[in-house]
């Protein structure tokens, strides 16, 4: 049995990178709602995805937003590091 991608599709504010990977691998049109529902353990083509997101586009937008939010947090953490330009470099 082939392994399926793992998704965390609990609430609209928590789509993880795997959702973006699903879209990246298959393209927007290739990532059908039925396939996404099946991959996250929902019954395909029963409309369960729409209890979390108003559309497939909204799911993709939420996944992108979540990825950008995570990147912004990491960037802020890096900015808070006190490193000299030569930190860790032996000359």
Condensed to tens digits (0 to 9), the pLDDT of residues 29-77 reads 998 888 888 777 778 889 888 888 889 998 888 888 878 888 899 999 9
Nearest to 38 by CA among 14, 11, 4, 2: 4
Q: For residues 36 and 56, is the Cβ–Cβ distance under 8 A?
A: yes
Query: What pLDDT is attached to residue 86?
Result: 65
Distance spanning both ends of the chain, measured CA to CA: 53
Long-range contacts of 27-34 (CB under 8 A, 24+ apart): 28/56, 28/60, 31/56
Q: Where are the extended beta strands (E) located within 1-91?
A: none
- pTM summary value: 0.65
Q: Report residue 14's pLDDT band, with 50, 70 and 90 as the boundaries.
A: very low
Q: Tell me how long the chain is.
A: 91
């Amino acid at each position: 049995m082939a392994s399926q991608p793992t998704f965390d599709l609990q609430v609209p504010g928590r789509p993880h990178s795997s959702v973006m990977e699903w879209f990246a691998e298959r393209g927007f049109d290739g990532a059908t709602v039925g396939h996404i529902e099946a991959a996250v353990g929902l019954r395909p083509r029963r409309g369960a995805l729409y209890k979390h997101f108003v559309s497939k586009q909204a799911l993709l937008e939420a996944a992108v937003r979540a990825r950008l939010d995570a990147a912004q947090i990491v960037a802020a953490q890096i900015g808070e590091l006190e490193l000299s330009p030569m930190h860790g470099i032996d000359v």
